[in-house]
Structure 1
Amino acid sequence: MLFGCDYSGNSDAICKNNPEICTDLHHDSWCFYEKGDLIRQRYELKHTPSPTGKQVYRQLTLLEDYNHCIELAAGVKHIIHKERTNDRARAFGLSSQSLARLQESIQNSQDPYLAYYRWSRFNDQAALNLLLTAQAESKITDPQLLAPMAAYYLKSDPAKAKALYLEIFSIASPSEFDPDWLLGLASLYRQQQDLEKTYLLSKANVLMSKQKVSQPQMLALLNGNKELAQMLDQEAQQLVDSIGSGDFKHSRFLTLLAKD
């Protein structure tokens, strides 16, 4: 529960009691989840005197999600209820304006989350420099921000990229761990022609994400060595287990992957 009168889970109740939160949104049930998440986040921010950069970043991304969804929905023409089409078009226009205003409001922010937003959305090099400095001074501890930093360093500073990925693996909780991070580190080992570690991490990604993959392509990393693949498959499952239990930083995989 966020507040004394708990409207936090009911977007209709929030809009009824806080109409200013919902004036730029549409009224029907399209984009149900995107609209609901945005309304609840706005309600939270309304009752937060000094929102953190992370909260504002989430507001930006939720507004982006809603704006994109309602843009698509506005293209669906109602033959009978034409007012619904008009309402969605209105919501798209107004939410676009809301997004632009919020983006403008963070232009001078020194917060790492908002610097990352400006860099990732607008290729803002000043924001990137701010972010790199904050990371170098150990002011960034969120894996969600460290991961793009690791990806940034893949080509220019592979050793730093590897150190960042291993830090991320060590501090990320099982619920927030993104299997794509495994592919980021795998790409580094592939650059270095360490194909066994490339296979290990790629297989771990497949196990975690449950994505389908071409086994012949995987085997090609090992020159078709099925016996080695079988051994590495078992290792990959153990790696996934260590991540899933939150025990990676105490596992042998940290030492294994840290080796040059």
Structure 2
Amino acid sequence: MSRSVVIFTSFFSIIVFSALLGCDNVGNNNTICKNNPELCADLHKDSWCRYEKSDLLKSRLRLKHEQSPPGKDLYHHLIHLEKYNKCIELASGVQHILHPERTNDRTRAFGLSAQSLAELQVSTKESNDPYLVYYHWTRFNDQVAQAKILRAERLNLIDDIEILAGIASYYQKYDPAKARQVYLAVFNKSNEENFNPEWLLGLANTYQKLNDLEMTYLLSRANILMSENQVSEKSMLMLINGDSELKIFLDEHAEELVDSLQSGSYHSSKIRRILEKE
């Protein structure tokens, strides 16, 4: 079989697989709407924004079966509603020449989803749930929400690593030592499935503010290994004054860190003790 045939076959397979995924989403949406028409009444009917619509419908269905929805579910519902609203706003600007009613339907859906989003934002504004407090802090720079979320972190009331990472990022600007503490907590609470390589850069930047350039290099190198980000090797070497022997030593530790994070063995690793050493 020629190489061109292999490439065409692979490309065709990707197209078919993507189409099947899309059809699966449409099928799921249709089933949900058939059994729960009230969940779909304010949404658009055509195939635009199919993934955002599917996520929103699943979220609505989950909330429907919860008598008192937890803050985490409401938080994710807000996120799904935001994404749907943004997508359908763009779609409403596309004029359908043959079927103008489709454009009108998207415009209607955009207006109604914007209203639903605004109402949910208002109704959750005074919540003390960490997820909802975090939402209002990050979306609106709500200072009351900020005070609540930072206090909750100080009292060790937050387990969600995404929220903790957001708090660590905030502290980078004002208290690098505290940022380091929170980032290390994120590392300890994460696993091989939910670890975000960007947190390595966050901790690297924190160490740079603390003037620990060796740790800055180590963590930056680990980020490169995990994310395949392109960086200037010259700039990397400048962090350690061009010390080639130190580079070899730190590169080995960076590989060890990546291996421990990807294998889920970070908690028992030697590199963890190195990072947490004061």
TM over 0.5: yes
Identify which of 164, 174, 177 aligns with 2:195.
177
Query: Secondary structure of 2:191's partner?
Result: coil
Residues 162, 258 of structure 1: 8 Å contact kept: no
Provide Cα deviations, 1:69-98, integer angstroms capped at 9, x if missing partner. 111111222222222222111111111001
Query: Secondary structure of 2:79's partner?
Result: helix
Distance 1:162-1:33 versus aligned 2 partners, 3 A rule: same
- Following superposition, the deviation at residue 40 of structure 1 comes to 0.6
Counterparts of 2:203 and 2:73, CA distance in 1: 29
- 1:186 matched to 2:204? The reply is yes
In the TM superposition, what are the counterparts of 1:38-77 in structure 2 within 5 Å? 38-77=56-95
- 1:96 matched to 2:138? The reply is no
Uncovered stretches (5+) of structure 1, i.e. residues with no partner: 1-6
Q: What count of residue pairs does the alignment treat as equivalent?
A: 253
Residues 176, 207 of structure 2: 8 Å contact kept: no
Provide Cα deviations, 1:154-182, integer angstroms capped at 9, x if missing partner. 23322221111111101112211111111
Identify which of 156, 174, 179 aligns with 1:161.
179
- Following superposition, the deviation at residue 14 of structure 1 comes to 0.4
- Counterpart residue number, 2:277: 259
- Following superposition, the deviation at residue 46 of structure 1 comes to 0.4
- Following superposition, the deviation at residue 132 of structure 1 comes to 1.3
- Counterpart residue number, 1:3: none
Query: Secondary structure of 1:178's partner?
Result: coil
- Following superposition, the deviation at residue 198 of structure 1 comes to 0.8
Q: What is the RMSD computed on CA atoms of the aligned residues?
A: 1.7
- Following superposition, the deviation at residue 227 of structure 1 comes to 4.3
Which residue identity does 1:233 align to in structure 2? D
Task: Using CA pairs under 8 Å that are at least 6 residues apart, name the structure with larger relative contact order, 1 or 2.
Answer: 1
Which structure has the greater CA radius of gyration? 2
Distance 1:213-1:32 versus aligned 2 partners, 3 A rule: farther
- Following superposition, the deviation at residue 65 of structure 1 comes to 0.7
Identity of aligned residues (%): 55
Counterparts of 2:241 and 2:94, CA distance in 1: 51
Report the TM-score, using the length of structure 1 for normalisation: 0.91
Residues 176, 209 of structure 2: 8 Å contact kept: no
More helix by share: 2
- Counterpart residue number, 1:195: 213
Report the TM-score, using the length of structure 2 for normalisation: 0.86
Which is worse superposed, 35-44 or 171-180? 171-180
Which is worse superposed, 235-244 or 106-115? 235-244
Counterparts of 2:106 and 2:246, CA distance in 1: 56
Distance 1:32-1:213 versus aligned 2 partners, 3 A rule: farther
Residues 207, 237 of structure 1: 8 Å contact kept: yes
Which is worse superposed, 224-233 or 59-68? 224-233
Residues 118, 127 of structure 1: 8 Å contact kept: yes
The runs of at least 4 consecutive aligned structure 1 residues that moved more than 4 Å come to none
Provide Cα deviations, 1:116-165, integer angstroms capped at 9, x if missing partner. 00110111111111111111111111111111111222233222211111
Residues 165, 185 of structure 1: 8 Å contact kept: yes
Uncovered stretches (5+) of structure 2, i.e. residues with no partner: 1-24
- Counterpart residue number, 2:12: none
- Following superposition, the deviation at residue 225 of structure 1 comes to 3.7
Which is worse superposed, 226-235 or 171-180? 226-235
